[in-house]
Amino acid sequence: MAPGLSEVVRVFGRLATTAFGGPAAHVAFMRDEVVHRRRWLSDADFLDLVAAVNLIPGPNSTELALHLGFRRAGWPGFLGAGLAFVLPAFALVLGLAMLYVRYGTRPEVSWLLYGLHPVVVAVVADAAVQLGRSTLRRPRSAAAALLAGALALAGMHELLLLALCALAFVAPTLRGAARTGVAVLGAIASAITPLAAAAAAGPPVTLARLWWFFLEVGSVLFGSGYVLVAFLRADLVERWAWLSDRQLLDAVAVGQVTPGPLFTTATFVGYVLAGFPGAVVSTVAIFLPAFGLVAATHHLVPRLRASRTWSAALDGLCAASLGLMAAVTIELARQSLVDGPTLAVGAGAWLVLLVWRPSALWLLLAGALVGALAGR
C-alpha cells in the first residue's frame, strides 16, 4: 500500500459517515482534519484547493477530497479518497431508497414527508441566498441571475441558459470576429431551445438514458450542490415526467439527512426509477466527471482564474446557476407550501437558518416530527 494511503482512506471514510450538512460543512470538516489535526498542508494551500474546485463543474466537496488524497498519497490517494468519500454515502442512500420504495406510500410516512418538504424548500432557498451573497457582487451578475431565473421559469433548457450566460460574460473580453462568433452561437442556442425541449419530451426510462443524463449533469453543474435540484426537476419532472415533484423533494430530503456528498441524491433517484442497476449507473455517471476533471486539471486549475476569458465565463456560469436555483425554489414551494402548517414550517425553518445557521439535519428532523404530530 502506498505511503499515506491507509490514512487517506480512514480520514475520508470517516467523513463520509459523519460529515452532515452539505458541501460547506464538508469543507470545514476537511480543513479541520487535514490542516489542523494532521498537518498534511498549510491553510494557504488548502484555500488554493478550495478555489480550484470552484473553477470546475461537479461536486465540490468530492473534488476537494480527490485533490487532498492526491496531495497526500499520489494517484492511489486520489482514488482512495474519492471512493472512501463516495461509497459509504452511496450505501446509506441506497438503503433509504429501498425502504422508501417499499414503505413510502404508507400514511405515517406520508405525514413525515409532509413536514419534511417545507424544510427542504427552506434549505434550498437559504443555499440560493448564501450563494447570491458571494456571487452577485456586480449589477450585471444580479441582472443575469434574474434573467436566467425568469427564462428557466418560462421553460428554457438549463444547459442553454448556462451557455448563454457564459457567452454573454465572455463577449466583452473578446474582439472582432471572436465577438461576432459568440453572438452567432448565442442566437443559435436561443433558436434551438424549443426544439431541444420537444425532442427530449417523454422518453421511457432506460439505464442508458440515466447514464447520459447524470453524466451530463456531473459535467456541467456549477455553483452549488443544490443546483442539482434544478437539473433534476427540469428534465426528470418537467420534460420527461419520470418523477413527481413529491418524489424529487423526497430525494433531496434523503440527500440532506445522510452524510457525505449531496450528489448521492442521484443514487436515490436511480433506485426509484430503475432499481439497483439504476442506482449504480446514476451514481457512477454523476461522479465520474469529477474524477476525470480533477485528474486532468490538478496542476492547471489554480491558474484558470488568471485567465480573463475563463474568469468571465465562470462569473456567467455562477450567475446562471443562481437563477436556476431561484427558479426551482419557486416551483418546489408551489408544490410543498400548500396550507397554513406547511407555510409556517417553511418560514420558520428559513428564519432559523438565517439567524442561527444550524445543521440542516436538525431542521429536517424537526420538520419530520411536526409532520408526525400533524398526522396523529
pLDDT digits (tens, 9 = 90+) for 288-314: 999 999 998 877 755 665 677 777 877
Q: The dihedral of CA 132, 250, 92, 294: what is its sign?
A: negative
Range ranked top by mean pLDDT from 79-83, 169-173, 369-373 = 79-83
What does the pLDDT average to over 54-59?
80
Cα–Cα separations (whole angstroms), residue 315 to 170, 188, 318: 9, 22, 5
Share of the chain above pLDDT 70, in %: 86
What does the pLDDT average to over 89-107?
89
Count the domains in the chain: 1
281 or 55: whose pLDDT is higher? 281
d(CA 267, CA 255): 9
Residue 184 has pLDDT above 70, yes or no: no
Residue 117 has pLDDT above 90, yes or no: no
What does the pLDDT average to over 183-212?
61
Range ranked top by mean pLDDT from 28-37, 66-75, 221-230, 302-311 = 66-75
Residue 134 has pLDDT above 80, yes or no: no
With residue 75 as reference, give the H or E element that holds it.
Answer: helix 60-103
What does the pLDDT average to over 240-265?
86
Residues whose CB is less than 8 angstroms from the CB of residue 16 and which lie 6 or more positions away in sequence, other chains included: 84, 85, 86, 87, 88, 89, 259, 260
Do the beta carbons of residue 194 and residue 168 sit within 8 Å?
no
pLDDT at 196: 44
The three three-digit cell numbers of residue 214, written as one number = 447524470
pLDDT at 2: 59
In terms of Cβ atoms closer than 10 Å to its own Cβ (0-12, 13-18, 19+), residue 116 is buried
pLDDT at 195: 42
Residue 57 has pLDDT above 60, yes or no: yes
DSSP conformational letter for 298:
T
**Among 98, 113, 278, 314, which residue's Cα sits nearest to residue 204?**
278
**pLDDT-based confidence at residue 98 (cuts at 50, 70, 90):** very high
pLDDT at 202: 64
pLDDT at 93: 93
pLDDT-wise least confident of 3-12, 194-203, 273-282? 194-203
**pLDDT-based confidence at residue 149 (cuts at 50, 70, 90):** confident
Residue keyed to cell 432559523: 352
Residue keyed to cell 443546483: 227
Residue 61 has pLDDT above 50, yes or no: yes
Residue 225 has pLDDT above 70, yes or no: no
Q: Within 10 A of 336 (CB to CB), how many other CB atoms are there?
A: 23
Q: Residue 92 is part of which domain span? A: 5-374
Do the beta carbons of residue 88 and residue 260 sit within 8 Å?
yes
What does the pLDDT average to over 74-82?
94
Range ranked top by mean pLDDT from 30-34, 65-69, 261-265, 327-331 = 65-69
Do the beta carbons of residue 321 and residue 120 sit within 8 Å?
no
- Dihedral (Cα; 124, 127, 128, 129), 10-degree rounding: 130
Number of H helices, E strands in the chain: 15, 0
Residue 76 has pLDDT above 90, yes or no: yes
